[in-house]
Amino acid sequence: MDKVNVAVIGVGVFGKHHVRVYKSLKEANLVSICDVDERRAREIGELYNVKYYTSIERMFEKEDIEAVSIVVPTSKHYEVAKRVFEYNVHALIEKPLASSIREAEEIVREAKRRNLKLMVGHLERFNPIVGKVKDIIEREEYGKLISIHAYRLGLYPTRVQDVGVTIDWAIHDVDVMRFIVGDKVATVYGLVDDAGGQDSISLALLEFRNGVYGSLEANWNTSIKVRGVRIVLRDAIMNMNYIKQEVKIYTRVENAPECKSFEEFVMRFGEPPCSTVRVKIREPLENELRLFLKSIISGEEPPVSGEDGIENLRIIEAILESCRTGKRIKLH
């Protein structure tokens, strides 16, 4: 097998990008799309010259489909995944895996029972700069990793109606932080503006089992779109920019003599030595979908497993629980 017959379920704001990318991949044969909104399904189907359906069951009865992207609202992930698995079809489910730990665990169990590939669409994991930063840290050329701080700011996305910023945005950075640190989160403390409804501001402190500390901020109240991570090492500070796909590395001033005045101090330390590392710009979604298809073709495990999806969701639920109780939550 060198091509996979694929379909996209849900072709709204983000689902249509799955359609676009599948159309461009040599590993994919985009068979059809499905959306409950017939006008939208027809529009995207005609744009990409692909068959469209409004019924999942009818699509599977009519078409030979081996794998799907599930890009529906989070509250529908569980229901749609179960219907897909009934047809023994592999699935990539957009993050978060489900609305609750219970639903996520059941999705994973059913995929395993049927020996199907299940991948969770934690998109930022496939941003090329994330892998580059992880490589730099693992080489330890700037010493031990001390802490990691993520921020994801912007305006409220009107497409999201069923969840808040913690589960929709902060989960991106939870996954990236886990990937870079390479260990489990031991404890969580959260501060959220509305833990019982559609929260729009979310802050959290995380302690990893290996002693690394983390913090994250996500909000839907800022007019400027910012996506980044600051990583503190013994001998450097790294500022990673998701959008530019680059990282600025600030290093210490070696053997600096004592400053004789404040002006001299500002001149010497106001801007530490800085180098910029860039990678070849690649669309993270293209990387993600190609690796999903590769896992089906080769039989390898997907790079972001159902278990990863569960663990990320467990951390998010702990942030919300911490906010409700005012207590630090222990996970591992």
Structure tokens at 303: 């790079």
Give the residue among 128, 112, 30 at the shortest CA–CA distance from 302: 112
Residue 231, token pair as written in the block: 């990583």
CATH topology of domain 125-282+313-330: Dihydrodipicolinate Reductase; domain 2 (3.30.360)
Number of alpha helices (DSSP H) and beta strands (DSSP E) in the chain: 11, 15
pLDDT digits (tens, 9 = 90+) for 68-102: 999 999 999 999 999 999 999 999 999 999 999 99
Q: Given a cut of 80, is residue 167 above it in pLDDT?
A: yes
Alpha carbon 328 to chain centroid, angstroms: 24
CATH code linked to domain 4-123+286-301:
3.40.50.720
- Say if residues 243 and 125 touch (Cβ distance below 8 Å): no
Predicted confidence at residue 145, as pLDDT, reads: 98
Question: Residue 263 has what pLDDT?
Answer: 81
Q: What is the pTM of this model?
A: 0.92
**65 compared with 165, residue with greater pLDDT:** 65
pLDDT at 256 over 90: no
DSSP letters spanning 249-299: EEEPPTTPPPPSSHHHHHHHHSS--EEEEE-----HHHHHHHHHHHHHHH-
Phi, psi dihedral angles at 24 (to 5 degrees): -95, -10
Closest CA to 71 of 187, 175, 160, 199: 160
Q: Any idea where the domains of the chain sit in the sequence?
A: 4-123+286-301, 125-282+313-330
